Chains A and B, each alone.
Chain A
C-alpha cells in the first residue's frame, strides 16, 4: 500500500494567480496521476506524472495551464496557472505501487477556491 499526503489541504486564491500543490508518497510508486474533481462531479484525469520527463496530458488539459513536475518516485507537484473561478475544484493526486495490479491510492485532495 501507499500513504499519500497533499499540501495545501485547501486554499483560496485570487484570479490570475498560480498555486502549486505538492504530493508526497511514503514509498516509491511506479505511476503517479493528477485528477480534478469539480463540485458534485466525478474525477477527471488531468495527466500522468512521469518521473524524470514531461507529464502526459489528457485531452483538454495543457502543460502551460497545469505544469507538473515529478523529480523522483515519491514526489510530484501540480501548478494551476493563471487561475480563474472555473478552476475552483478539488485536485487529487494518486499513485500505483509497483505490484498493486493497477490499484491506485489517493491523497486527501486539495480544495481550491478561486475568487
Chain B
C-alpha cells in the first residue's frame, strides 16, 4: 500500500528565506508524486508533479521538488519565500495504472514571517 509522510505540521520561514517542506513516500511500485497547495477557504491547486523522466520538477510560483528514489523523498523547495506563499501544502502519491486513487499526506501549514 502507498503512504505519505510529511514532516512538520507547521513550518515558519521569514520572507525571502528558503522554503523546504519535507515529504517521504512509501510505494512498492514506481509512484506518481504530487504537491498540492490549498489557500484559505479554497480548493486544492496542483503545484507540480513527478511522473517519469527528470527527477527535478519545476512547478508554479517558483516551487520545485526533487524525486530521490534512494531516499524515497519528494521535498518541496522555493529559494525565496513570499508572503503570498502562506498556505497549506499537501504531498500526495498515486500508483501508475492502479485505480488512479491519490493518497494525501497530512499537510504542512506554511507561515511566512515578515
Contacts and interface: CB of A to CB of B under 8 A. Distances in A.
Contact of B51 (A30, A31, A96, A101): A101
Given A101-B32, A102-B32, A103-B34, A42 B46 contact: no
Contacts of A24: none
Interface string B94-106: 1010011110111
Q: Which of the four size classes fits the interface of chain B?
A: 20 to 34
B106 A41 contact: yes
A107 B38 CA distance: 11
Contacts, number: 47
Given A41-B106, A45-B101, A102 B44 contact: no
A31 B43 contact: no
Most chain A CB within a 10 A radius of its CB, from B45, B102, B107: B102
Interface of A: 4, 30-31, 33, 41-43, 45, 48, 92, 94, 96, 101-109, 111
Pairs of residues from A and B, 9 with the lowest C-beta to C-beta distance, nearest first: A108-B43, A106-B44, A106-B43, A42-B106, A43-B104, A102-B94, A101-B51, A102-B32, A42-B104
Interface of B: 32, 34, 36, 41-46, 49, 51, 90, 94, 96, 99-102, 104-107
